[in-house]
């Protein structure tokens, strides 16, 4: 008898340690930010890239373990945090009309090939099923699934963001194109073997009702919205429960769940008709209540001080009239800084990175300490600083700075980041001896016009900011600082790889307190064999340790009730 309590204690301790290990890894990710380079998104349907939609999940039914021991694929779903998945309610309804029990459901995360069990795949049990209390066929078609364990985030498994929308309406989506993904029925009448993806526009709900009053008219409400190109590229049986994703610039948000559509004369999906989606924003309070307010947020470890400062500034932010970020402009001859319309400010101190290599332009960063504080307000706020978790090199990028003969403001959004391997290959082909390193990022730029008839990179563009913009918070995040290496292939010093050094100088004692707190709460990660306190960097500082950055980089009628 005395041995039983000891066994229970040991088991609980093992579970706690495993959870902590996942949490230390999960803290290196943020919702809606992808961590893999993939193909550029296109208009028509295509095979999704591996890790292109890391929040997309697959739901499997395991009702009969004798005939299908691994379960049967049923629907799509969306990971919204480390222990919750959102999908359509009809995806957890059996042929009998009864809801399935948690043990009858399996969730596959990080999946790309439907019939393969790849190394990145995570298979998780379900512990709770929360079907919306007012669910009936095609109404309130939403269910929250609680996973039986904390999932481990990776390049292939990342949650998407959920944010509140005023009034819980979808009006702001009309005219926008959202992305969907799934393994649904294809043109051959079979489930797709690989994950497919496409985008489609959201239309006015009244347009949807007019297009087919008998089908859509009776379901029109603020709880749903319609979308489709009606051009043959659409979702179909097996795609139910999957999400519709929208980009806010540097993050992706979940705004819809595939619910139902129209049946063609042949009994298949009518891709010439609209698709009805569950409006996730309408159910945001319901989701928040079931998840104790934790959905969409990672409150695992303390955020870095620069990230907390950014969130504080975001409370004061509002949409800029010109939609761009006005960079600092420095006059090196007189050592002054000009910001917006404020008077020029003297520089009190210049801090050059201690590992700066002028020949290689490595660690090419410098901090200016101003002689007096700036007057900040809603129209003049500091940019956020990217860290390994918030750095997004895979979506919409922009570069801004001052250049040309008269040092006028310049902005370019026709750019994309490329992998270190691709950059090195291009540099080698150009006989460039300054090979890019992991603490830098390569950007391929297309410049539509010259600036004052000069090559802008030869006219003082060094130090320009590579950044992202979030259309919800109206905040810019600085990803890198230009080395001005070339016209088409540009190299930027990564802020995330030098953040320890920046924070140590800018926030001093606050930074040291954060580091001490992180060290006290560190756990050992058996898989990596290292202490996972903080993503490391390659920078050095008298006030910061020398770390290295480890990371690289169905619907037309409820699936459960018809055509099973």
Q: Comparing C-alpha atoms, which of 394, 389, 401 is closest to residue 306? A: 389
pLDDT tens-digit series, residues 414-434: 888 888 888 888 888 888 777
* Weakest mean pLDDT among 86-95, 303-312, 536-545: 536-545
| pLDDT score of 344 | 82
Cα–Cα distance measured from residue 481 to residue 399, given in angstroms and rounded to the nearest whole number: 9
Cα–Cα distance measured from residue 503 to residue 237, given in angstroms and rounded to the nearest whole number: 51
Q: At 397, list the tokens.
A: 């990028």
| pLDDT score of 509 | 75
> Running DSSP on this structure, what letter comes out for residue 213?
T
**Chain position carrying tokens 């949650």:** 159
* Weakest mean pLDDT among 262-271, 451-460, 506-515, 524-533: 524-533
Task: Tell me which H or E stretch contains 384.
Answer: strand 384-385
Q: In the sheet where 366-370 sits, what is the strand order? A: 329-331, 336-338, 345-352, 366-370
Residue 147 near residue 83 (C-beta atoms within 8 A)? yes
The pTM (predicted TM-score) of the whole model is 0.80
Q: Is the pLDDT of residue 382 over 60?
A: yes
- Quote the Cα angle for 33-36-41, to 5°: 80
Q: At 425, list the tokens.
A: 């290959």
**Chain position carrying tokens 């000891």:** 6
Cα–Cα distance measured from residue 219 to residue 217, given in angstroms and rounded to the nearest whole number: 6
Fold of 27-295: Thrombin, subunit H (2.40.10)
Same fold, 27-295 and 321-507: yes
Q: Comparing C-alpha atoms, which of 257, 253, 262, 143 is closest to residue 212? A: 262
pLDDT tens-digit series, residues 125-182: 999 999 999 999 889 999 999 999 999 999 999 999 999 998 999 999 999 999 999 9
Q: Comparing C-alpha atoms, which of 562, 559, 564 is closest to residue 238? A: 559
Cα–Cα distance measured from residue 515 to residue 526, given in angstroms and rounded to the nearest whole number: 22
CATH architecture group of domain 321-507:
Beta Barrel (2.40)
pLDDT tens-digit series, residues 175-221: 999 999 999 877 777 888 899 998 999 999 999 999 989 889 889 99
**What angle, 0 to 180 degrees and rounded to 10, lies between the N-to-C axes of helices 305-314 and 499-520?**
110
Q: Which residues contact 427 (CB under 8 A, 6 or more apart)?
A: 434, 435, 436, 489
Q: So where are the chain's domains?
A: 27-295, 321-507
Mean pLDDT calculated for residue range 446-473: 67
Q: Is 405 exposed, middle or buried (0-12, 13-18, 19+ CB in 10 A)?
A: exposed
- Quote the Cα angle for 381-386-390, to 5°: 115
* Weakest mean pLDDT among 328-342, 357-371, 373-387, 514-528: 514-528
């Amino acid at each position: 008898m005395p041995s039983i309590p000891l066994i229970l204690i040991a088991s609980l301790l093992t579970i706690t340690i495993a959870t902590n290990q996942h949490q230390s890894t999960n803290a290196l990710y943020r919702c809606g930010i992808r961590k893999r380079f993939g193909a550029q998104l296109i208009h028509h349907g295509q095979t999704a890239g591996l890790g292109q939609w890391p929040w997309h999940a697959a739901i499997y039914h395991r009702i009969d373990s004798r005939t299908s021991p691994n379960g049967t694929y049923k629907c799509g779903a969306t990971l919204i945090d480390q222990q919750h998945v959102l999908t359509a309610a009809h995806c957890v309804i059996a042929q009998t009309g009864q809801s399935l029990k948690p043990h009858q459901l399996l969730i596959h995360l990080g999946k790309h090939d439907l019939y393969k069990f790849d190394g990145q795949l995570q298979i998780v049990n379900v512990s709770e099923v929360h079907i919306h209390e007012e669910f009936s066929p095609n109404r309130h078609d939403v269910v929250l699934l609680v996973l039986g364990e904390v999932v481990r985030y990776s390049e292939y498994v990342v949650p998407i963001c959920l944010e509140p929308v005023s009034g819980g309406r979808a009006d702001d989506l009309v005219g926008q194109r959202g992305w969907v993904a799934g393994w649904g029925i294809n043109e051959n009448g079979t489930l797709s073997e690989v994950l497919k993806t496409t985008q489609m526009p959201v239309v006015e709900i009244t347009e949807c009702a007019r297009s087919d009053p008998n089908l859509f008219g009776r379901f029109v409400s603020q709880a749903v919205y319609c979308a489709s190109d009606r051009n043959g590229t659409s979702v179909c049986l097996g795609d139910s429960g999957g999400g519709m994703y929208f980009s806010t610039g540097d993050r992706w948000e979940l705004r819809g769940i595939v619910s139902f559509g129209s049946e063609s004369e042949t009994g298949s999906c009518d891709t010439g008709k609209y698709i009805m989606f569950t409006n996730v924003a309408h159910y945001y309070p319901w989701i928040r209540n079931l998840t104790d307010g934790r959905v969409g947020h990672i409150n695992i470890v303390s955020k870095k001080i620069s990230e907390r400062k950014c969130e504080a500034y975001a409370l004061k932010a509002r949409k800029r009239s010109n939609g761009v970020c006005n960079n600092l402009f420095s006059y090196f001859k007189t050592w002054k800084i000009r910001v917006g319309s404020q008077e020029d400010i003297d520089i009190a101190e210049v801090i050059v990175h201690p590992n700066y290599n002028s020949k290689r332009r490595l660690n090419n960063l410098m901090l200016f300490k101003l002689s007096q504080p700036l007057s900040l307000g809603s129209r003049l706020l500091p940019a956020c600083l990217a860290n390994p978790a918030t750095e997004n090199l895979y979506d919409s990028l922009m570069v801004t700075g001052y250049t040309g003969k008269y040092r006028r403001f310049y902005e370019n959004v026709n750019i994309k980041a490329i992998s270190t391997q691709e950059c090195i290959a291009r540099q080698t082909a150009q006989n460039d001896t300054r090979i890019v390193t992991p603490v830098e990022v390569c950007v391929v730029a297309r410049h539509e016009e010259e600036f004052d008839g000069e090559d802008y990179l030869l006219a003082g563009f060094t130090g320009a900011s590579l950044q992202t913009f979030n259309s919800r918070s109206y905040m810019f995040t600085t990803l890198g600082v230009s080395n001005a290496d070339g016209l088409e292939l540009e190299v930027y010093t990564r802020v995330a790889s030098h953040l320890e050094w920046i924070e140590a100088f800018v926030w001093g004692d606050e930074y040291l307190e954060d580091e001490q707190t992180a060290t006290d709460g560190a756990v050992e990660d058996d898989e990596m064999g290292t202490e996972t306190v903080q993503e490391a960097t390659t920078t050095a500082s008298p006030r910061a340790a020398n770390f290295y950055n480890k990371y690289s980089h169905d619907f037309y009628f409820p699936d459960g009730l018809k055509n099973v």
